[in-house]
Structure 1
């Protein structure tokens, strides 16, 4: 019936990343991860885990600040340092950018664009960052429609618990967990070629 995008922000996380990846693999599902540069640098082997699972790897700034309050040069530093460390740790260059807190302004958009990044927010917020229960996270995912994107995070235990049920529900609705098109910012079939989707269109 179509594709939806499961996204996981703020990783990689020692406690939970491997569980999320193994659950996705078990169901043959893809996802998009938005690591911070800091976490990517500190957990380089888990960046390889993301890559080896064929996940799409995006950019979530260096250390999750409120970018809309920052100067253009500081925003550029946040994004470009993260681009570099993802390239170093996972061997892919991100093409999608999730702004921390979903906050964007013209400066953030123009810097992202200059680095070849498409700004991607979300259609459904799982509220997993706000202590939502596993069942509430699973219920939120049931609102997903084809092409839509759900916000989840890499670190909450409840998200790890909710994920098998989310994937079962998607299968029951004949929806596939795909990736995010850097062209449209919508969910599409998993991008072929490199896991970052970087071999088709100026990566």
Structure 2
């Protein structure tokens, strides 16, 4: 028996070792299964929206990135050049966290009052600072205050950037509460872009609710396409068209009136007659963009210039604000009105 004991002990040790290896393999398989389950969640994305944050990096950028990552959100950070120069590590952290970076001018000046040479210098200096800090040359440009003209757009284009304004203004810069920011963000439709800002506590507090609302509508944060200026999948692919053909039904009449005009934007009011429920298709002339809508539910085609507005029980008059983006003469055109 004494001669057999060492063999029994050896066999026991080998068995324990084998079991340990098996347990490790099972654990690893569990990890693999968990990792491969992630793409299935992406299948629930029926459209993408562009979350954007202006004026960074700031002393709160780290806190913003933590909230975004903990809620599974990616965003485009429109950075101010001198802020990047003064806080290179925060700009690097943006990219490390999976965010995209864009150009938001050197010091947030009113750029439409600049000469073409001054615009060129400002945007070039900003892009160089961002590239130096992050290794990425911006392909997107957002003009400060949304103020732009054809000269500024031409300068941005010459530097390889597409101008991006916004479809929805969160109003966080205007002291909006958390609930107001969440309510404003709930208007986002597939392909659209929302304006938010780095460094605002209410905005950070609103992000979990914003993400919950998007998820409930099968919308996901995406990148902004340098080709179209619309939100697409994070890998840059274009989602299916977000504007569906109007439903079959009778005809109605939609009449558009320009009610207010400012230097950079104007309001349009549309009155529908002949139907209590309706679908109106409106065409916007690029590079104009609609920033706000009311009394209707809007979707957009992939170009971002054709809006389909549907009644939502708020009556037969709806409206929207259009940013001129340097084209102050064009006005929206009614393409069709369908009852039902």
TM-score between both structures, scaled by the size of structure 2: 0.55
Q: Which residue pairs with 1:100 in the alignment?
A: 144
Q: Which residue pairs with 1:144 in the alignment?
A: 188
Report the count of equivalent residues: 191
Q: Which residue pairs with 1:58 in the alignment?
A: 102
Q: Secondary structure at the match of 2:117?
A: helix
Q: Is the strand fraction higher in 1 or 2?
A: 2
Q: How does 1:31-50 map to 2 (within 5 A)?
A: 31-50=75-94
Q: Which residue pairs with 1:13 in the alignment?
A: 58
- Provide the rounded CA distance (Å) in 1 between the counterparts of 2:179 and 2:76: 22
> Which sections of structure 1, spanning at least 5 residues, go unmatched?
193-203
Shift of 1:22: 1.3
Shift of 1:17: 1.0
> Which sections of structure 2, spanning at least 5 residues, go unmatched?
1-45, 237-340
Q: Secondary structure at the match of 1:92?
A: coil
Contact 1:41 1:85 in 2 (8 A): yes
1:85 aligns with 2:126: no
Contact 1:20 1:163 in 2 (8 A): no
Shift of 1:164: 1.2
Structure 1 segments (4+ residues) deviating >4 Å: none
Q: Which residue pairs with 2:289 in the alignment?
A: none
Q: Secondary structure at the match of 1:77?
A: helix
Shift of 1:151: 0.3
RMSD over equivalenced CA pairs, Å: 0.9
Q: Which residue pairs with 1:197 in the alignment?
A: none
- Provide the rounded CA distance (Å) in 2 between the counterparts of 1:42 and 1:173: 39
Q: Which residue pairs with 1:176 in the alignment?
A: 220
Q: Is the helix fraction higher in 1 or 2?
A: 1
- Provide the rounded CA distance (Å) in 2 between the counterparts of 1:135 and 1:78: 36
TM-score between both structures, scaled by the size of structure 1: 0.92
- Provide the rounded CA distance (Å) in 2 between the counterparts of 1:191 and 1:66: 33
Q: Secondary structure at the match of 2:103?
A: coil
- Provide the rounded CA distance (Å) in 1 between the counterparts of 2:180 and 2:121: 36
- Provide the rounded CA distance (Å) in 2 between the counterparts of 1:147 and 1:175: 10
Contact 1:3 1:147 in 2 (8 A): yes
- Provide the rounded CA distance (Å) in 1 between the counterparts of 2:167 and 2:67: 23
Q: Which residue pairs with 2:247 in the alignment?
A: none
- Provide the rounded CA distance (Å) in 2 between the counterparts of 1:46 and 1:7: 16
- Provide the rounded CA distance (Å) in 2 between the counterparts of 1:82 and 1:164: 31
